[in-house]
Structure 1
């Protein structure tokens, strides 16, 4: 005895929605990284360099080969300053 196809429709719909959601999240992550693949196991050094790249280019994963920093880079200090406790 066969299984009526109506019983398999919910499974097909769920599989389609999971596939669509996975593809959409992958595309959003790809767009957020400036068209580059997502990074894994990012340590403190990588975060520091990515922050520097963001301050130089405006994008977290952007890189530049210009040897001279753009105007205003000297004012975008990466050091965080805390207020003095009196």
Structure 2
């Protein structure tokens, strides 16, 4: 006994919506990462050499700063995912310090 094609329409619509939403999310994630594949995990080199913890003077809480290597790439190229192969830093980079000044004691 044949099945009418109308019975398959909900399944086609659901499958199509899954495909459209999955493709849309992949496109948005690629666009946010400037065309590069997303970083799912950062390797041990970035973890051990770049996480700095400091004690906040006002709240006495331990804060974790950003990954310094990735922040340095952002300061060099203007983009978080950008990297450069130039051996010399651009002009003005020596004044571009990621460390924030401490507040004065009053």
TM-score normalised over the length of structure 1:
0.75
**In angstroms, what is the RMSD of aligned CA positions?**
2.4
CA distance in 1, matches of 2:25, 2:102: 37
Structure number with greater CO (CA < 8 Å, separation at least 6) is: 1
CA distance in 2, matches of 1:82, 1:25: 41
Instruction: Describe the SS at the equivalent of 2:36.
Output: coil
Q: Which residue of 2 aligns with 1:21?
A: 21
CA distance in 2, matches of 1:76, 1:18: 45
Q: How many residues align?
A: 86
CA distance in 2, matches of 1:61, 1:4: 52
Q: Is the counterpart of residue 65 in structure 1 residue 89 in structure 2?
A: no
Residues 29-79 of structure 1, C-alpha deviation per residue, up to 9 Å, x if partnerless?
A: 222222221111226449322211111001111111112212232333222
Return the structure number with greater strand share.
2
TM-score normalised over the length of structure 2:
0.64
Return the structure number with greater helix share.
1
Q: Which residue of 2 aligns with 1:33?
A: 33
